[in-house]
Structure 1
Amino acid sequence: MDNHPIPSLLKSIVTITSSFFFFFSIALPQSYAQENNAYSACSQPYSCGSVTNISYPFWGQNRESFCGKSGFQLMCQNHLNTTIQVGSQTFNVLQIDQTGFTMRLALPESSYNLCPPNISNTSLSGSPFSFLPNTVQNITVFYDCPLQISGINSFKCQNNSSKQAFYVNGAQLQRASGFDRCGYRVQVPVSVDIPLDSLKNALDKGFDVKYDDPDCENCKASGGICGTNQNNSSTFSCYCHDGTTNSDCSASRTKNSKRNKVMKLALGFLATGVGLPLLAVTICKNKEKIWRFIKRKIGNKKEDRKIETFLQSQGPLALERYSFSDLKKMTDSFKVKLGEGGYGVVYKGKLLDGCEVAVKLLHEANEDSEEFINEVASISKTSHVNVVTLLGFCIEGRRRALVYEFMSNGSLEKFISKKKPGDESVATLSWDTLYQIAKGTARGLDYLHKGCNTRILHFDIKPHNILLDEKYHPKISDFGLAKLNTKEESIISISNARGTIGYVAPEVWNKSIGGVSHKSDVYSYGMMLLEMVGGQKSTNIGSEGSSGSGSELYFPPLMMYKKLEAGSDDVGARGVTSDEENEIAKKMTMVGLWCIQTIPAQRPTMSRVMEMLEASVDSLEIPPKPFMSSPSTSPSEFSFILTSFQSTL
């Protein structure tokens, strides 16, 4: 009986029938089932906090998201404040003019009276808003300034009376001096008609922004209610009495009539018994392709649900959600490639307002959503001059992408790696510039470790992930391997080794050395410092053509340490031409060697690293010798360990 053809035939019929209805349901327009329940849900204006009589594109509180538009969610606090997330910042909403498509925003006082501030440069890039022309001016605020500096428009910081801050307008900024000693500098917008005698008054009065609403006019004129598709928030929907369209209600009845005809024809086709035999033949001929298609669809849906659940758990994010067609437009069909990494390819793009961006298109082969979630979860919580800004993202089937601010000078890697003979296409950075990059990266990493509400461990600090703007200011990027933990947690648990060989702390792959913590990032930073000094890529250790023998071949910092231990001023730095440059190189070497101590507890924190970089060379102690610089294994065995570790990443 087990081999009887009847059970097999019944199974085939069930499979074919299920497949038919599966493909049939895919083929039907989504809006066929999306009737006019949304019409009544979105038809009445609502109030949010102190702002009343609000409608599309705004939504929030008890207002369904499909009644509004992405980027227009309002947060309501009874009859008090109304706030909105724009970029990485939260603004108070003072008023909304839906007739003129304008809105007045203001920074919360708690965000700009602290040192260091909770704000960064105010930018509307990647948001649906733009500054109202001829109504806004930028002022520059200098925070965390030494008390010795004097100047106009100063104020004390609420949380640190030993520090002070200054603010100047554009004209005053041209004459400003001495403010390069301040810790932070940000630009914030104010109305041009507000006097600058008080920073609080100028910022509390707010500034005006505008937005566009081109899709909604025809819908409202035809008697419809504007909203977005309940299954795709990036698609406009016009909710009508008798259904839903993507334009206006005049086409609603015609479309519903056509859909009814399609449904009747399809059901008649099935009822006559003609459809199933034809479908069976098609499936039998293409069963492998169809099965792969179904598996891929199910897998993608699972990952998509995982991402959507994560996004909802984060609450309102200050990120724009783009469609894939948006990405093609902004990158000119991915014309200019900036670089490529293990998780995706980065292309140059431009937003509608002319702002340049970098679009990271994640590899479709990477079906796991961890890279995407890590990036959004970590970087969306940051706002720092030395951390790259994430502007938006795209999720569309297997296509996933991240949109960042554009860094015109690319990564640090191309400036410190040894160039091929005759290659003059990449400029050589001065030692002072390298020193400033080292300090800026340390500030950014210190912020990630203790400046956020949640501690962020990067786990992939290396020159490739340090981006440089037009003035060579560094910004930490690529948070795909990042881990988040509370500030109370010092040791974290990771399931697999993560990072790039040559920069990974030993405790990440050898648990007997110690626990994984923020000190693991310190190690990676130290290896990067030593690479900046010597121009020897950490990932090239043990490669053919390297000089040295024994353990020196596999751990180049040992040579630097031996020179320091012998009292030599020459630490093997490249291109040093003066005593000042040699002092910078020596200081970076000593700090780097402290950072790569094998035992995590012996490494400094990033706060201490910043102090050491500002101190004189003579005040720094020579660090202990990292004992892993002399492995007991033979060169071939040590190379095997590195290769084995690399295969686990």
Structure 2
Amino acid sequence: MWREAAWLMVLLLLFHQICAAKDDEEHLCPPSSCGKITNIKEPFRLQGDPENCGHKSYELGCENNVSVLYLLSAKYQVEAINYKNYTVRVVDPALQHHNCSSLPLHSLSRSNFSDTYSYHNNLYQAGLSAYDNWESLNFEHIVFLNCKHSVKENRKYVESGECVKWDSEGYAYAVSGDLKAEDFEVGCDVKLVAPTSLRSLNYDSYTAIHRGLAYGFEISWVNLACQKISCSMFSCYFDSKSQNLACSSDGGRRTGSDLEGEGGKKEIGEIEE
């Protein structure tokens, strides 16, 4: 009986130490704040935070009271961080909501990201799933084109009107979604590719297209989160239905609840809007 009591005492002591360590960590690394992003925490950090807080690779800047993320040698404003599905929504700083002539400074598409989760040096991914990545992208593309002639028979081509003029003698168009080979019109050149995660709009007008661009786009750090669970021969991904990290392979899938004995679901925090 005394042995059982001793073991119980040891377990209680360990539990107390773990809780105390967690409390100390949270006390030493309280969430940072910059502008409307008021809950910057693991894995993110703000420039100037203590070195032991957050990941240096996921460091955000704070410029003129605006949180900024440095991505692919460019700077983007942070619109929201979602700690439950491991995404961050950013927008090109050149885009202005009420200025239809404003365009992103840089082209950006899925080709700029690698969704091969086995490569841990990829800080951000375009999708949340290890398989069927094209269908599970966090964003869709807006393709800008300049055409030598008017394109009226192709409904995918939305004319920008007076908002965008690539060439004084040409016609400027925007196409939402992926531009397939059969969609290319003779005499048209791609000028810019930009992402948006605002999928609720019907992009049949340039006003709607520009609104989608100004909303921004989501990218994921699920690669980092997946390092915290053991999938063995399976591949880790985020299951949007169960809202859990899960393991997948050609032989089937296992959700976070199936992995509790192997590390289970590892959530980093709450939603920040």
Q: What's the TM-score once normalised by structure 2's chain length? A: 0.50
Deviation at 1:172, TM superposition (A): 6.0
**Is the contact made by 2:148 and 2:171 (CA closer than 8 Å) also made in structure 1?**
yes
Q: 1:85 to 1:149 in 2, by over 3 A?
A: farther
Structure 1 or 2: larger strand share? 2
Aligned residue type for 1:148? H
Deviation at 1:44, TM superposition (A): 1.6
**Is the contact made by 2:165 and 2:171 (CA closer than 8 Å) also made in structure 1?**
no
Residue identity over aligned pairs, in percent, reads 20
Task: Return the match for 1:153 from 154, 158, 167.
Answer: 158
Match runs of 1:436-515 below 5 Å:
none
State how many pairs are aligned: 178
**Is the contact made by 2:40 and 2:46 (CA closer than 8 Å) also made in structure 1?**
no
SS in 1 for 2:76: strand
Task: Return the match for 2:126 from 120, 127, 131.
Answer: 131
Aligned residue type for 1:149? S
Deviation at 1:69, TM superposition (A): 1.6
Corresponding residue of 1:536: none
Do structure 1's residue 43 and structure 2's residue 29 form an aligned pair?
yes
Aligned residue type for 2:126? F
**Is the contact made by 2:87 and 2:219 (CA closer than 8 Å) also made in structure 1?**
yes
Do structure 1's residue 202 and structure 2's residue 203 form an aligned pair?
no
Task: Return the match for 2:200 from 188, 193, 204.
Answer: 193
Cα distance in 1 for partners of 2:159, 2:172 equals 6
**Is the contact made by 1:84 and 1:91 (CA closer than 8 Å) also made in structure 2?**
yes
**Is the contact made by 1:190 and 1:206 (CA closer than 8 Å) also made in structure 2?**
yes
Q: 1:201 to 1:110 in 2, by over 3 A?
A: closer
Q: 1:176 to 1:183 in 2, by over 3 A?
A: closer
SS in 2 for 1:131: coil
**Is the contact made by 1:58 and 1:69 (CA closer than 8 Å) also made in structure 2?**
yes
Q: Which ranges in structure 1 are unaligned for 5 or more consecutive residues?
A: 1-37, 219-649
Higher relative contact order (CA 8 A, sep 6+): 2
Deviation at 1:128, TM superposition (A): 1.4
Deviation at 1:39, TM superposition (A): 6.3
Cα distance in 1 for partners of 2:86, 2:178 equals 31
Cα distance in 2 for partners of 1:60, 1:139 equals 30
Corresponding residue of 1:535: none
Cα distance in 1 for partners of 2:184, 2:212 equals 23
SS in 1 for 2:45: coil
Structure 1 or 2: larger helix share? 1
Report Cα offsets for 1:190-213 as digits up to 9, x if no partner. 343333232211112233332244
Q: 1:183 to 1:200 in 2, by over 3 A?
A: closer
Q: 1:161 to 1:108 in 2, by over 3 A?
A: farther
Corresponding residue of 1:55: 41
Cα distance in 1 for partners of 2:95, 2:105 equals 8
RMSD after superposition? 3.9
**Is the contact made by 2:147 and 2:187 (CA closer than 8 Å) also made in structure 1?**
no
Q: 1:56 to 1:172 in 2, by over 3 A?
A: closer
Task: Return the match for 2:105 from 112, 118, 141.
Answer: 118
Match runs of 1:349-388 below 5 Å:
none
SS in 2 for 1:130: coil
Q: Which ranges in structure 2 are unaligned for 5 or more consecutive residues?
A: 1-23, 115-120, 129-135, 230-273
Q: 1:166 to 1:109 in 2, by over 3 A?
A: farther
**Is the contact made by 1:109 and 1:200 (CA closer than 8 Å) also made in structure 2?**
no
Report Cα offsets for 1:92-150 as digits up to 9, x if no partner. 211112244222223334499568x631233233641223443634324234x246333
Q: 1:179 to 1:200 in 2, by over 3 A?
A: farther
Q: What's the TM-score once normalised by structure 1's chain length? A: 0.24
**Is the contact made by 1:58 and 1:74 (CA closer than 8 Å) also made in structure 2?**
yes
Match runs of 1:203-218 below 5 Å:
203-212=213-222, 213-214=224-225
Aligned residue type for 1:182? D
